[in-house]
A and B are shown apart, each in its own frame.
Chain A
Amino acid sequence: MLINDLFQETSSALLANKARSGLTILGIVIGIGSVIAMISVGQGAQSSIQSNIEALGSNLIMVMPGAQRSFGTQVQMQRGSAQTLTLEDAEAIAAEVDTVKAVAPQTSGRYQVTAKGTNTNTSVTGITPSYLEVRNLEIDSGSFISEQNVSKTAKVAVIGPTVSEDLFGEGADPVGQTIRINKINFKVIGVTKSKGGSGMTNQDDIILIPVSTAQQFLTGNKYVSTIYVSAIDQDSMTEAQNDITSLLLSRHNVSVADFSIMNQSDIIASASSITNTLTILLGAIAGISLVVGGIGIMNMMLTTVTERTREIGLRKAIGAKKKDISSQFLVEAVMLTFIGGIVGIVLGWVLAWGVSYFGSITTKVSITSILLAVGVSAAIGIIFGYYPARKASKLNPIEALRYE
Chain B
Amino acid sequence: MIECRNITKIYKSEAGETIALRGVSFKIKDGEFVAIIGPSGSGKSTLMHILGALDTPTSGQYLLNNQDVAKFSDDELADIRKNQIGFVFQSFNLLPRTTVLRNVMLPLVYANVTKEERELRAKTALTNAGFDQSHFYHLSNQLSGGQMQRVAIARALVNNPTLILADEPTGNLDSKTGDIVLETFQKLNEQGRTIILITHEKYIAEHAKRVIEIKDGEIVEDRPAQSSTAARRIKE
Contact = CB atoms under 8 A, between A and B. Distances in A.
Nearest to A323: B75
B200 interface: no
B109 interface: yes
A20 to B, nearest CB: 15
Interface in A1-23: 1-2, 4-5, 12, 16
Given A318-B87, A318-B155, A398 B79 contact: no
A316 B98 CA distance: 17
Interface string A103-138: 000000000000000000000000000000000000
Contact of A401 (B79, B81, B89, B110): B89
Interface string B74-111: 11001101110001010101011110000000110111
A310 B89 CA distance: 13
Given A16-B97, A310-B93, A401-B93, A319 B110 contact: yes
Interface in B108-158: 109-112, 115, 155
A322 B55 contact: no
Interface in A307-359: 310-311, 313-324
Contacts of A324: 110
Contacts of B107: 318-319
B25 to A, nearest CB: 22
A318 B82 contact: yes
A322 B96 CA distance: 22
A314 B133 CA distance: 24
Nearest to B111: A319
Contacts of B110: 1, 315, 318-321, 324
B78 A316 contact: yes
Contacts of A398: 49, 54-55
A398 B50 CA distance: 10
B54 A320 contact: no
Contacts of B52: 317
Q: How large is the interface on A (under 10, 10 to 19, 20 to 34, 35 or more residues)?
A: 20 to 34
Contacts of A1: 109-110, 112
A319 B93 contact: no
Contacts of A381: none
Given A317-B81, A398-B55, A401-B89, A322 B111 contact: no
A321 B78 contact: yes
A397 interface: yes
A318 B106 contact: yes
A1 B107 CA distance: 10
B79 A321 contact: yes
Interface string A151-169: 0000000000000000000
Given A311-B96, A313-B93, 10 more contacts: A311-B95, A314-B93, A314-B106, A316-B78, A317-B87, A317-B93, A319-B78, A321-B79, A398-B55, A401-B91
Interface of A: 1-2, 4-5, 12, 16, 310-311, 313-324, 397-398, 401
Interface of B: 49, 52, 54-55, 74-75, 78-79, 81-83, 87, 89, 91, 93, 95-98, 106-107, 109-112, 115, 155, 159
29 contacts: A4-B115, A12-B98, A16-B97, A310-B93, A311-B96, A314-B95, A315-B110, A316-B78, A317-B52, A317-B81, A317-B87, A317-B89, A318-B87, A318-B155, A319-B79, A319-B82, A319-B83, A319-B107, A319-B110, A320-B82, A320-B110, A321-B74, A321-B75, A321-B78, A321-B79, A322-B74, A322-B78, A324-B110, A398-B49
Q: Shortest 7 CB-CB distances between A and B: which pairs?
A: A319-B82, A318-B107, A314-B93, A321-B75, A321-B78, A319-B110, A398-B55
